[in-house]
Homo-oligomer: A and B are copies of this chain.
Amino acid sequence: MNVVLPQPYLLFLGDTTEPGYAKTAFGLRDWAPERCIGEFSLPGATVTTGLPFLSPAQARNSGAQAMVIGVANAGGFIPPAWIAALVEALESGLDLVAGMHARLRDIALLRETAARLGRRLIDVRVPPEGIPVGTGKRRTGKRLLTIGTDCALGKKYTALSLARAFQSRGVDATFRATGQTGILIAGGGIPMDAVVADFAAGAAELLTPDAPAAHWDVVEGQGALHHPAYAGVSLALLHGSQPDVIVVCHEPGRERVLGHPDYPVPGLRDTIELALRLGSRTSPRIRCAGISLNTGKLDADEAARVIASESDRLGLPVADPMRGGEAFDRLVDACLS
Residues of A within 8 A of B (CB): 133-138, 192-198, 200-202, 226, 228-237, 239, 260, 262-263, 274, 277-278, 281-282
Contacting residues, chain B, for A226 (C-beta < 8 A): 281
Min Cβ gap A214→B in Å is 24
Nearest-neighbour CB distance to chain B for A286, whole angstroms, equals: 14
Are the CB atoms of B263 and A232 closer together than 8 Å? no
Whole-angstrom CA separation of A197 from B134 in the bound complex: 14
Whether A233 contacts B136 by the Cβ 8 Å rule is no
Q: Can you give 25 A-B contacts (C-beta < 8 A)?
A: A133-B229, A134-B229, A134-B230, A135-B228, A135-B229, A136-B229, A137-B262, A138-B262, A194-B196, A194-B198, A196-B196, A196-B197, A197-B233, A198-B233, A201-B230, A201-B232, A228-B281, A228-B282, A231-B239, A231-B278, A232-B234, A232-B237, A232-B239, A233-B236, A235-B235
Among B135, B196, B202, B232, which residue has its beta carbon within 8 angstroms of that of A260?
Answer: B135
Tell me the smallest distance from the CB of A204 to a CB of chain B, in Å. 9
A198 and B202 contact, CB distance less than 8 A: no
Q: Which of B197, B229, B237 contacts A192 (CB 8 A)?
A: B197
Interchain nearest-CB distance for A264 vs B (Å): 10
CA distance A201 to B196 in the complex (A): 13
Counting chain B CB atoms within 10 Å of each CB, the highest count among A226, A229, A262 belongs to: A229
Given contacts A136-B260, A226-B281, contact A197 B236 (CB under 8 A): yes
Which of B133, B138, B228, B235 contacts A134 (CB under 8 A)? Answer: B228
CB closest residue in chain B, given A233? B197
CB < 8 Å neighbour of A233 from B137, B192, B232, B237: B232
A307 to chain B, nearest CB (A): 28
Q: Which of chain B's residues has its CB closest to A260's CB?
A: B136
Contact A197 B193 (CB under 8 A): yes
What 4 A-B pairs come out closest when comparing CB atoms? A136-B228, A232-B236, A134-B229, A193-B198
Please indicate the chain B residues that have their CB under 8 angstroms from the CB of A277 in the complex.
Answer: 274
Q: Chain B: which residue is nearest A234 at the CB level? A: B232
Least CB separation from A282: chain B residue: B228
Q: Which residues of B contact A193 (CB under 8 A)?
A: 196-198
Inside 8 A of A235's CB, which chain B residues have their CB?
A: 231-232, 235
| Other-chain contact of A195, B197, B230, B278 (Cβ < 8 Å) | B197
A85 CA to B157 CA in the complex, in Å?
58
Measured between beta carbons, the chain B residues less than 8 angstroms from A274 are 277
CA distance A260 to B201 in the complex (A): 14
Q: Which residue of B lies closest to A202 (CB)?
A: B229
CB distance from A31 to the nearest CB of B (A): 24
Give bound CA distance, A52 to B135, whole Å.
44
Residue in B137, B232, B262, B278 whose beta carbon sits within 8 Å of that of A197 in the complex = B232
> A202 to chain B: which residues have CB within 8 Å?
229
What is the CB-to-nearest-CB distance from A205 to chain B, in angstroms, rounded to a whole number?
Answer: 9
Please indicate which of the listed interface residues A197, A226, A234 has the most CB atoms of chain B within 10 Å of its own CB: A197
Closest beta carbon of chain B to A285's beta carbon, Å = 15
A249 smallest CB distance to B (angstroms): 19
- Per the bound structure, the CA–CA distance linking A201 and B229 in Å amounts to 5
